[in-house]
Amino acid sequence: MPSDDAKNGDSAGLSADSPVDVEELFRALREEVRRSGADPGAGAGDEDERRIARAEAERLWPVSADRSLRLRPGVRGGLGTPVKAVLRKLMRWYVEPLAAEQRSFNLAVLTLVDDLAGRIEHDVKRLERRIEAIEESSGANAGPKP
């Protein structure tokens, strides 16, 4: 009976003879995760990625117990859909308070994140102005050397 390692390696297109560049593999995996959207905002942090992550958060924050039912074809769909609709209305009293709390929390978090982003931007600009002032004053004090 062949070993599982050889079977899996062959089927995956890998061979034990070829060297693996771990850094290149890790970079490729990280890029694939970034492109998939599974890790929004975790890239280099440029403005576009932050805007995309913020838009996604804005789209997803309103959690609700109401979701559309998927209609199945055939008898199961014909009988199951009305039963699901009734059950959903009966369970709404139980689920909706949790969804309302989650919406409140999500709104509070998004508001806080926006506030923190504004504060950071303001502080960065203030520090840049201070650095420029220090550089100007140190340049003026140094003067030409004899």
Provide the residue-wise pLDDT of the chain in tens; the chain has 146 residues. Answer: 555 555 555 555 555 667 778 888 888 888 887 777 666 555 545 777 778 878 888 887 777 766 666 666 777 666 777 777 788 888 888 888 888 888 888 889 888 988 998 999 999 999 999 999 999 998 766 655 55
* pLDDT at residue 127, as a whole number: 95
* pLDDT at residue 144, as a whole number: 57
Phi and psi for 94 in degrees, rounded to 5?
-85, -35
Taking the C-alpha atoms of residue 88 and residue 95, their distance in angstroms, rounded to an integer, is 10
66: left (phi over 0), alpha (psi -120 to 50) or beta: beta
pTM of this prediction exceeds 0.75:
no
Chain Cα centroid distance, residue 56: 8
